[in-house]
Amino acid sequence: MRSAMVEALTLTTESTAPASADVRPVVWTSAEWIAYFRANADNLLDIPWETGAGVTPEELAEIVSSLSAWQLGETSDGSRLVRTAEKHAAKFNDPAFVDLIRLFIAEEQRHGETLGLFLDAAGVPRARRDLGDSLFRVFRHFLMRMEVWATVVVIIEVHAMLYYAAIRRATRSAVLRRICEQILRDEVPHIRFQCERLAIIRRGRNRVLMGLTAAAQRVLFVGITAAVWIGHRRALRAGGFTFRRFWRNAWAQMGRAWQVMNPKAYR
C-alpha cells in the first residue's frame, strides 16, 4: 500500500500523457493522507543500531554542532500547530485534518528521536538550546494561520532535503546514513502534503493577491536560505555544498514546490 501511495507523490506536475487529456493530479483528502502516514509508520527502513554510531572523530567534528541543532528543531510538541489545525479544520469542514496533523507531528518527532539516539550512541550530549531553534520557536507564536505555517514548513523542509543529503555524504556511518535516507524518504511527501494544503487555501484567490503572496514567499525564502547556510555551512560543506551550489539547489527545489502549491496544478 505504501509503495503505491509514494509513487503518486511527486514534486512535479509534468506528464508525458497526450495534451488533450487533463492529467493534472487530484488533491488528496485528509483521509488519504492519514492512510499514507499510517502506512509509512509501518514500513520504516531498518537502522543497523547493532553496529554502533560508526562515525569517526573527524566526521563528527564537521557535523556534530549542526546535527545537534537540527535534532533539537525536530522535537517540538506541536501543541500550537494542533490548535491552528483545529481552526483550519472548522473553517474548511474537514475534522479529519486534525488527526492528520497529529500524525505529521509524530513523524517529525520520530526524526528528532532517531537523530537523538544517534547522538547518544556517538557519546554526544543532546542540545538543550540553539539560537536558530530559539528564534523559530519565538517566530512560531505568529504562525497561528495554517497558510503561514505551511509556507514556512515547506521552505524549511526544502532545505532539509539538501541538508540531510549533505549529512549522508559527509559520513560513512551506516546508522547515520540510513537515518538520513529515511528522513529524505519522508520529506518528499511532507512537502507535497503542505503544498496541497496551500493550494486548497489559495483556491479562488485573485491574481493580485497571488502575486503579493508569491513575492512575500520569495523574501521569506531568501532569509531562511541565508540563515540555514550561516548556521550549518560547515556541515553543508562537509557534504559537498559550496554556497553557490547550495543556493542554486535550494532555488531549484523550491521552484518545484511553488509549482505544486499552485491551485491550477490540480483538477
How do residues 42-64 score in pLDDT, each as one tens digit? Answer: 999 999 999 999 999 999 999 99
pTM across the whole model? 0.89
- What residue spans define the domains of the chain? 28-39+47-265
Q: Which long-range contacts (CB under 8 A, 24 or more apart) does 43-47 make?
A: 43/2, 44/182, 45/178, 45/181, 45/182, 45/185, 46/178, 47/114, 47/175, 47/178, 47/179, 47/182
Mean pLDDT, the chain, integer: 88
How many other C-beta atoms lie within 10 A of the C-beta of residue 179?
21
Whether pLDDT at 2 is above 60 = no
CATH of domain 28-39+47-265: 1.20.1260
202/204 Cα distance (integer angstroms):
6
Judge contact between 111 and 74, C-beta under 8 A: yes
The yes-or-no verdict on residue 172 having pLDDT over 70 is yes
Say how far apart CA 11 and CA 186 lie, in whole Å. 13
Tell me the average pLDDT across 135-156: 77
User: What is the pLDDT at residue 259?
Assistant: 94
Q: Do 225 and 159 form a contact (C-beta atoms < 8 A)?
A: yes
Q: So what's the pLDDT on residue 32?
A: 97
Q: Is the pLDDT of residue 14 over 70?
A: no
Count of CB atoms situated within 10 Å of the CB of 63: 23
Chain centroid to Cα 129, Å, comes to 21
DSSP H helices in 122-173: 131-139, 146-170
Quick check: 239 and 170 in contact, CB under 8 A?
Answer: yes
Q: In the prediction, which pLDDT does 19 show?
A: 47
Asked if 234 contacts 62 with a C-beta cutoff of 8 angstroms, the reply is yes
Mean pLDDT within 142-167 = 90
